[in-house]
Amino acid sequence: MRSIVLLVVGNAALSYAWLPTVQESPILAGQDVHQAPLIPQDDKNATIRWLPASGKIRGVNLGSQFVIEPWMANDEWNSMGCGKEQSEFDCVSKLGQARANSVWATHWSTWTTKDDIAKMQSYGLNTIRIPVGYWIREDLVYSDSEHFPQGGLAYLERICGWASDAGFDENEQRIREEANLGSFYIIIDLHGAPGAQVAKNSDTGQVKLENLDGLEAMHTDKGFYVDYQYERAYKFLEWMTNIIHTNHNYRNVGMLEVVNEPIQGSNSNTDSLRRNFYPTAWKRIRAAEDAAKPNITPNNRLHIQMMNTKWGSGDPHQYLTDDYFAAYDDHRYLKWSNDNGINSPGTGQTPAAYLKQSCHDDRGGNWPTIIGEWSLSVADNLEWNNPDFAPPDNHVDWYRKWFAAQIQAYEKQNGWIFWSWKANWIGGRNDWRWSYE
């Protein structure tokens, strides 16, 4: 991890200049719904639901904590006995439930630790985004045809508690609250939806599904986008909302993302997503809040997050009748973009092209938008084969500049969350371009 340490240390002054107490957010200035008052001094059980009022979201994803993506956790995946299996569903099917529960318990307890939370804080970060699958609510799983690890909820609660406490005693915590620092802001993201929101992708946790006869088959193009799967998602979101509002360990969870990276394009599935799923999910979350906290104050409601228009599924706001505490998620991986020809052979694929794109990048549109995923990885054909970018240890100075350029672009919006906090042997290499740690 030598190079990422150099990158962080080299940017130490810049990182601490990004702390919320130092730079006031020009985007949030004057927007009352996102500038709720500080935690009341006499209320130890108060929550931090609102976006940081005096600064930007600056955080990391806990990628592969609760939805393992084998491509970024190769050693971990192999040590669990999952080998060439492509997703959690596949590996649990292979190992059997009892064995899977045991190896996943070890993974959940070691992939993200309390020391990790302390290290994140030492880097000046203020937010964590936690991807989860619907199967963390175990009674939603079809036991005759779906196979997922069991027992994850206790570990989710523990991580949220650590992040809310942030390792400070009561007096030091109060000092941070008075300074607008507080603890970590937490976003919980439905990363793996019932039926899978996209086909054949490990980040949904379910590359292979089974039909009702128990025969293995790849899921159809409808997957998530049918009423009975929506209903399972609504039940998950209601349940998660209730936990957030009634369990003290979740007191800093301020945002709930209703589904990660849905299918793209203009088609019946994306139309159903906007017309049916988003408005109904919104109403069900708000009703769950009213049930969990009668007479809930407006600034204690959750932000409800959807992928923004730039994601490519259409405008998520199109059919909403209420947008109080709405939030939007933008994922910006320039390695897979060809905006302004940055990855066109002959004209792009140069360090200068990447820097120029990031320096002028405009991720505006739906407001407020957080760039919820991004990295320092360049196009696949460049990342290890082009001497201008590889090996990365030889180009730390350039990656530091590109890191800063992306940060500046994303802080024109409401901030950023790097993918990911840690990675574990990508393609047989220890690639810190995906690892903030």
Question: What are the residue numbers of the active site?
Answer: 261, 373
Residue 247 backbone dihedrals phi, psi, to 5 degrees? -110, 120
Considering Cα of 399, then 400, then 406, then 409, what sign does the dihedral take?
A: negative
Determine the Cα–Cα distance for residues 374 and 336; give it in Å rounded to an integer. Answer: 11
Structural element, H or E, at residue 306: strand 303-307
Determine the Cα–Cα distance for residues 176 and 255; give it in Å rounded to an integer. Answer: 21
* Residue 288, burial from CB neighbour count under 10 angstroms (0-12, 13-18, 19+): buried
Residues with Cβ < 8 Å from 91, sequence gap 6 or more? Answer: 77, 80, 81, 82, 85, 100
The residues facing 130 across adjacent strands are: 188
Closest CA to 356 of 374, 370, 345, 343: 343
| Neighbouring C-beta atoms of residue 110, cutoff 10 Å | 9
- Report the helix count and the strand count for the chain, using DSSP H and E: 14, 10
Determine the Cα–Cα distance for residues 153 and 69; give it in Å rounded to an integer. Answer: 19
Axis-axis angle for helices 88-95, 97-111 (nearest 10): 130
Determine the Cα–Cα distance for residues 225 and 195; give it in Å rounded to an integer. Answer: 8
